[in-house]
């Protein structure tokens, strides 16, 4: 028994995704998704990332 390969659905409209622009079905849906990113719709709620909270000296050359 082999399962037929199921194409993942477009996260925007649910249509079968297009291999060229997956996971989306069309450029239109890809644009919609991009717009969501820019509008902050995908911002993960929870801990805010504070760049100043990073440990000191990370990534800096060790001057001695």
Number of residues that bind Zn ion (CB under 5 A): 6
The answer to the question of whether 63 is labelled as a binding residue is no
In angstroms, give the least distance from the CB of 58 to Zn ion: 40
Cβ closest to Zn ion, residue 15 vs residue 31: 15
Within residues 11-40, the interface with Zn ion by CB under 5 A covers: 12-13, 15, 25, 29
Runs of H (alpha helix) within the chain: 27-39
Q: Residue 4 CA to chain centroid, in angstroms?
A: 27
CA atoms within 13 A on the CB side of 15: 12
Distance CA 32, CA 26 (A): 10
Give the annotated binding-site residues for Zn(2+): 10, 13, 25, 29
User: Under the rule (CB under 5 A), what is the footprint of Zn ion?
Assistant: 10, 12-13, 15, 25, 29
């Amino acid at each position: 028994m082999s399962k037929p390969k199921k194409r993942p659905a477009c996260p925007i409209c649910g249509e079968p995704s297009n291999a060229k622009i997956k996971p989306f079905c069309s450029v239109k849906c890809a644009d919609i998704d991009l717009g969501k990113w820019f509008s902050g719709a995908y911002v993960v709620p929870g801990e805010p990332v504070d760049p100043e909270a990073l440990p000191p000296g990370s990534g800096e050359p060790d001057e001695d």
